[in-house]
Amino acid sequence: MSKQYMYRCPSCKELNDTKENNCTKCGHWLLSTNYPPEVVTVQTSSNRTLKRLLFSFLGLVIFFVLLAVVLSEKGQNTQIATSFIGLASLASWLVFGILWIISLVRKNGKAVMNLLISISCFVLLIVAFNNDATPIETSSDVADTQSEKQVNNNSTTNQTPKKVEDKVDSSPLSKQEFEELHTTPKKFKGRTVEFYAKVFTTPERDKNGVYVQAYADPINRELNTIIGYNDPNFVISSGDYIHVVGTVSDEFKGTNMMGGTITAPMIIATKFELSDYITAVSPTIKSIEQNETIEQHGYKMNLDKVEFAENETRVYLTITNDSKESISFYTFNAKAVQGTKQYEIEHNWEADYKEPQSDILPGVVTDGIVLFEGMDIQGGDVRFIFEGRSDNWSLDFKPFEFNITP
């Protein structure tokens, strides 16, 4: 502990700093050889404050020890109390450890006491964190233990051993549960799933299988999912759509390129196959096989079929140029009418549907999809209107119109 030396005035007994030449109270000459001041040692206020702080730490540790004992006797969870004991013990251990080092340096005789207190706080710290790491015994655990004891008692009485096994729920996930799976994967461990997804990273492989990371919601690029399949030779690439049937295995935790935390369910696939955009993202609700052809001056346009989906309408066309001149077809001129509503064409860059060629030479056949937004299949007939031209400007072309009944 640090000390401070001061002069005690021989006249008025006032304590003065050793830097003073005259008493601050009576003005006596402190450097006089006839009446020299008495040199005294005093304890500074900072040391007294430190003492109070240290005893406060010890009091805090003792309080939480007593609290843990009381809660334990009442059968309650002591995890919170032991956590506080650990924190208080850690703080006290650090403080008294520093004091022990200071005592060794200054050789003031307090090293042994500070060392013993520091060791005591360290022991409390170890005990507290060991208790804190002990799993909490819940009421269901107690019930399971009592049930197992009852089974063992019955086995002893009846001399018929019985094996107690935990029942694992392997039922399929509902749509709502599947969305919840991506926030709390461990809750659904062992459950079966079936879904479509889009791979968005380069697949990884080892001798046991292939592993991909995919969006189970490709449209919004959400519901990140880790999928493993026990075939290392399965051919798959980033951007592929897949159909997965499997079991929830565990929870994956990692970091992305920005340093953010990633939490995703891990699925062990029992069925793993390539799919396509339409099947995975925009499945057909109703398909109309029309197969109707309209011909003008050797320009043949055939409407093969129409697929109605929830978010889009797909019109399949085949165009044949049986004329002697080049013909043209441009999708931006296409329109659809249902009732009083007119629909313009749309583009789906994610699906990347094949479109009919624009400039068509004589004898060429081209086909593709013209895309419109989703329509109401209960909304009545739909009229599709397309336009075509020829390099022979003397030829008159009317719009190619097809009427469809959903």
| Least reliable range by pLDDT among 50-54, 63-67, 363-367 | 50-54
* Per-residue pLDDT tens digits for 283-295: 999 999 999 999 9
* Per-residue pLDDT tens digits for 87-131: 666 666 666 666 666 666 555 555 556 556 666 666 665 655 554
Task: Name the β-bridge partners of 17.
Answer: 6
Q: What tokens appear for 237 in the block?
A: 């690439």
pLDDT at 133: 40
d(CA 345, CA 377): 18
pTM of the shown model: 0.56
pLDDT at 75: 46
> In the predicted model, is pLDDT for residue 171 greater than 80?
yes
71, 75, 80, 83 alpha-carbon torsion, rounded to 10°: 80
Q: What is the mean pLDDT of the chain?
A: 80
Domains of the chain: 45-132 (1.20.58), 175-280 (2.40.50.140), 284-404 (2.60.40.4170)
Do 5 and 18 form a contact (C-beta atoms < 8 A)?
A: yes
* Per-residue pLDDT tens digits for 284-338: 999 999 999 999 999 999 999 999 999 999 999 999 999 999 999 999 999 999 9
Whole-angstrom Cα Rg for the chain: 42
pLDDT at 154: 44
pLDDT at 399: 96
Specify the residue for token string 């007939």. 381
Say how many C-beta atoms besides its own lie within 10 A of residue 260's C-beta. 8
d(CA 368, CA 129): 68
